[in-house]
Amino acid sequence: MAPRRRACLVCFVWSVLGFIFGLWLHFRFLTYRADDVPKLSLGPLDKGGDAFLFVAVLSSHKNEVLRNAARETWVKLGAKSKQRVAYRFFVGSLGLPAQTIADLLQESRTFNDTVVLANTPDSYGRLTEKVLMMFTWAAEHYDFQYLLKLDDDSFARIDLIADELGTLQQHKPVRELYWGFFSGRAPVFKMGKWAEPFWYLRDYYYLPYARGGGYVLSYQLVVSIQKHRTDLERYFSEDVSVGVWLAPMNIERKHDRRFNTEYRSRGCFNSYLVTHKQDGFMMNEIYGSLEEHGVLCEREVRSALSYDYNWNVAPSKCCVRNLTDADLKHHSSHHASSSLFRRNGL
C-alpha cells in the first residue's frame, strides 16, 4: 500500500474512533444522574443513609478551593456533635464542558461528598432551580430531621446547630421549623444582577424570608417543597423563593442573630452559628482560632449593626437595625403566633 493511501486510511480510522468516543462522552453525560454519585460518604460525618442534620451546601464548579477549605475546617465539626450529621456539596453540570464535568465526577469519587446535578445549570441565574434539585436529592437519598442549607462561602458551627436542634427535638415541637436571619423589608430589585421583573406579590418589598447564606428547614418543609416543585413559582433569588413557598404555612419562623448570613458579613463574633462571605483563608483562620483558643474570633469585630425581627408589626417596619451582636449569647425572635421556643426556654 502506498504511503499516501496508508496515511489517509490511518486518518480515516482515527476520525471514526474519535467520532465514536465523542458520541460515548455525549451519551454518558446526558444520561448521568445525581444519584450516580455514591450515596454514602466515607468521611467522619456520613454514617449511612440517615442523619439527624443534613447539611446541603450550594456550590459552583468554579469553587473547588472553597469546598476544600470547608472539608479542612467546619465540616470536621460534625464529628463533635451528639447528633448524626451528614453533608453534601451540590454542583450543577448542564451546559458545562465535558472536561469540567469529568473533573467534578473525579472530585465526587475522591471525596464522596459532591453531588453533580445532571440536568441543572451551574449558573447564578438558575440558583432557585438548583436549590429545588438539591432539596429533591436530599429528600430522596437521606432520612433526616433537619436540613441546613449553606452557601459554599459560609462557615458553620454544625456541631452546635445539630446539638441545639437535638435539644429542641426532645420537646417534640408541634410546628415545622424555618430558622435563620429573616428580612421583611428587603427591596425588590427591578434592575441589575438581582432583578425580579415579574414580582407581583407585594409593593416594593419581598415577603419575609431567611437570608440565603444559611438557614434551617425541618424535614417536612423540604419534602413539601420537593413534592410541589413542578408547581412552584421560581424567583431569581433562591432564598426569596423559599420564603414565598413557605409563606402560607403555619410554621415556626425563628429569627436568630447568630446567623450572620446577609449579603455582607456583620463581623466576627464568637456567638455566631453561621458566618457568610468567607474565603478559604478566612475559614482556616476561624477554624484555627476555634481549635487553639476555643472561640471563632481571636478578636471580635463589628462591621454592621443587627436587629431583632418584630413579628407584631408590618414587615416593612420589622427590622430596625440598632443592635450590636457583641453581647449576643443565645438570642432569637420568633413569629408572633408561635410560642413553642419561648415555652421551652429555647
Question: Model confidence over 303-318: pLDDT tens digits?
Answer: 999 999 999 999 999 9
Stretch among 5-14, 29-38, 134-143, 178-187 having the lowest mean pLDDT: 29-38
Question: Model confidence over 218-239: pLDDT tens digits?
Answer: 999 999 999 999 999 999 999 9
CATH code for the part of the protein at 36-340: 3.90.550
Stretch among 11-15, 140-144, 230-234, 342-346 having the lowest mean pLDDT: 342-346
The confidence score (pLDDT) of residue 43 equals 32
Residues in the chain: 346
Mean pLDDT of the chain: 86
Cα-flanking dihedrals φ and ψ of residue 103, to 5°?
Answer: -65, -40
The confidence score (pLDDT) of residue 192 equals 81
DSSP string, 16-66: HHHHHHHHHHHHHHHS--GGGS-SS--SSS--SSEEEEEEEEE--TT-HHH
State the pTM of this model.
Answer: 0.83
Beta 267-268 vs 301-302: how paired, if at all? antiparallel
Q: Cell for 220?
A: 417536612
The answer to whether residue 327 scores a pLDDT higher than 70 is: yes
The answer to whether residue 54 scores a pLDDT higher than 60 is: yes
What mean pLDDT comes out for the span 245-271? 97
CA–CA gap between residue 207 and residue 242 (Å, rounded): 10
What mean pLDDT comes out for the span 276-285? 98
Q: Residue 23 — pLDDT band, cuts 50, 70, 90?
A: very low
- DSSP-derived letter for residue 187 is B
Burial 125-164 (b: 16+ CB within 10 A, else e): ebbbbbbbbbbbbbbebbebbbbbbbbbbbbbbbbbbbbb
What are the extents of the domains in the chain?
36-340
Residue at grid coordinates 456550590: 59
The confidence score (pLDDT) of residue 174 equals 87
Q: Residue 27 — pLDDT band, cuts 50, 70, 90?
A: very low
- Helices 98-111 and 3-30, interaxial angle, to 10°? 60
Question: Model confidence over 160-209: pLDDT tens digits?
Answer: 999 999 999 998 888 999 999 999 999 998 888 778 888 889 988 999 99
Question: Model confidence over 109-160: pLDDT tens digits?
Answer: 999 999 999 889 998 889 999 999 999 999 999 999 999 999 999 999 999 9
Beta 85-94 vs 182-183: how paired, if at all? unpaired
Higher pLDDT, 256 or 42: 256
Nearest to 55 by CA among 125, 135, 153, 112: 135
The confidence score (pLDDT) of residue 191 equals 82
Higher pLDDT, 341 or 93: 93
Q: Cell for 24?
A: 460515548
Q: Contact, 214 vs 124, CB < 8 A?
A: no
